[in-house]
Structure 1
Amino acid sequence: MMISCIRSYTVLAAVFATLLSTAAAAAATAPRAWLVSKGNTQAVLVGESHVGTPVENDHYFETVVKPSYAVAEVAVMETYFGPDQLRNGSFALGAPCFDDPKGLHTQRLHLAFDALIKATRDSHLDVPNWLESWALVPEYLTLTLLDTFTTASLGPAYDVSETGISFRLRGKGTTSKKTIGLDTLGDRRTHFCSASAVDRADFVADKALQVSRLLRLKQSDPLYGSLGKLAVVAGEVTDEKVRCVDRPTPCAIDPVSPGDRILQDKGLETNYSSGTFEIMIKQRTHAWVPLIAKTISEHHRTFVIVGALHLPDLRVGTRVEPGLISLLRQQGFSVTRICGASDISATFLSPSWFDRVRSALGSL
């Protein structure tokens, strides 16, 4: 079903587009949070892009997202890695899959690593031994080495440019707030190793292509000054993904939108081959549901934030894969879109009994 605030948004967007006003365009961004409830427990579920975008630092962020994070007892974040997420890291990062498919190297995988090696040389960087001999390295170890190589090659300027709202909330929020990460290093290895050999090969190829594009981006723009314009595109892409929630016809994961293509070409977004969708989206979304449901059930107010692509149902070829919102509804939760702070002023944002006592004590 379509939510009423989306119908209102569509009408307003048409009017604002006619006015061709930058300010109006900023106001026309889609609501990006949902109220999840069951019994007397509630959560605010937010979809983000993982990079800083204009639509994620707007009036909606200030009046819905940030206040919800502030009053929540616990935050559940896709991007958080605390001690529980890092446990047994050496094994999780370095151990090959038990059935590592020796010799299964598709043409696409070869082309992807050829592109990465060329981009490395063109960037006047040394090609590591593991990259020269990637076909001999277990696939999961290759992914770990790619992550390390990416961080070292792109430098701190790239890290600064890639600050999404999860990081901004943690940086400016209450440092004592309990935070739960949705993925552990072991989880990531499990998701990869449980996929088919073909899907693994596609996933590794997508990663290698993404790193090669990021190196090309650094060649043309060493200080990443162009990312400001790309952030605008990322914001539009985020809006489109959250609009996919509750559409009568689920959005297709492929072909990608023009905005997605721009971000993929620059390395800010990965390709969504069958393997990447299986490992990064489908498996992880399903694995998160028990942890999210358990956390919401154990706390009066919970804040949950994940990548926007995990929220809607998505069409993959001829099949439809349920997103996080549908999966939570299947668990008996009510999930409704939050159009603005007024939607949750008397519920999630309403001061709790503890808040009132603390406020009274503070005024004495």
Structure 2
Amino acid sequence: MERGLQVGHIMMRSILGKNRISYNDASQRLRPGDPLAFLSMDTPGTSRQEALDQIHAGVHVVLEDVEKAFQMVFDQLKPDVNVADRTILDAKDQIRNEQARARSLVDLKQDDLQRQIRIRLENLYLQGMIQTPLQDPGVNRWENLSSRIVERNEPLVSEYSYDDLAPDKRGNRLNRWKRETDEWLETICQNHVAIIIKGMEEQIKEYKASWYEVTDALKKRAVRGGVLFQQVNDPDLWIFESEDPTVRNLLNGNQALDIAGRILDRFQMSPRDIEEVADTVRQSLTGLPVFGTNRIGVDELEELLSLAVAEKIRDTVSVEAGFLSLISNGIKFGDDLGELLDEMRRGTAAMEDRLWRVGEVGVGHVDSASGVGITAPNVHDLV
């Protein structure tokens, strides 16, 4: 009977040992790095377990100093060295203080990661709107990630008195204390990881709901007959006239559309360009959500993305140096351009004459007109 009980206790310890989690074991397995690296357009091959490990490592690392502090307490209590009474009396309080510090550290890290997750998701949302608006959102694969982690009740950590740590008892109780603090550290770590992931999943739900609503609205605007389709394809909307006789548009609407197409053909957005555009738009919103209930409107989002992409085109594609060749559309182009500039000169001279007659001062004589960036001599000869 007694032998049977002993076997039963051994089996139970074995079962419990398998279920016990360990901070030190996790330290051997996890690798430091960006805890949110999986929230990127550049990491399509990241597995769900890898994503979980990245967050886990991000929380785990903030507890390293607490684990070292625990170890210092235990090193001072080694049964094979002389230990001062005060060291034994203070050990319990030191462990308790380090537990309080651990809770504070993981709470701060949780708040920080939740803020960073929001930023990463908003950037991903904007990048997707630019790059893959007709596809399902890539964050789908991070749904239900919390199913891979188990929240646990915090295990008890012994609070030994002076008598409990007498030399003849200290060895066994010190080993037990190490196991308890090791399991306790990993428990609060994994529980905070679970909270972070559940919060991320709530944001992903908002992300997806907004994604489908906004992309459906954009599709309706972009199809033939839609507002956006008309704005992009109606030549009349590409004519930029001015009442100032010194300002003339060198292109008609159809020509402007054609030139815009040529410029876009020259422009290829790199992943880095897309990231920068998305981040520029997000920061310009100054706290207004990109997705969710109180998100930015479709019209404003479309306008901000368009302006940011246009700025990237201006920074990337050199137009001024080859402007004439870019807009040239036939052998009569030079003659037409010369006539246009001469018309500008006559209009400017008329304005000059009117200014002198009404008594305005400070105007110089205008006897020619030129286009900025236009260096072709035959064009100037015509003027």
TM-score normalised by structure 1 residue count: 0.24
Larger radius of gyration: 2
Query: More helix per residue: 1 or 2?
Result: 2
Higher RCO, Cα 8 Å, sep 6+:
1
Query: Higher strand proportion, which one?
Result: 1
Scaled by the length of structure 2, the TM-score of the pair is: 0.23
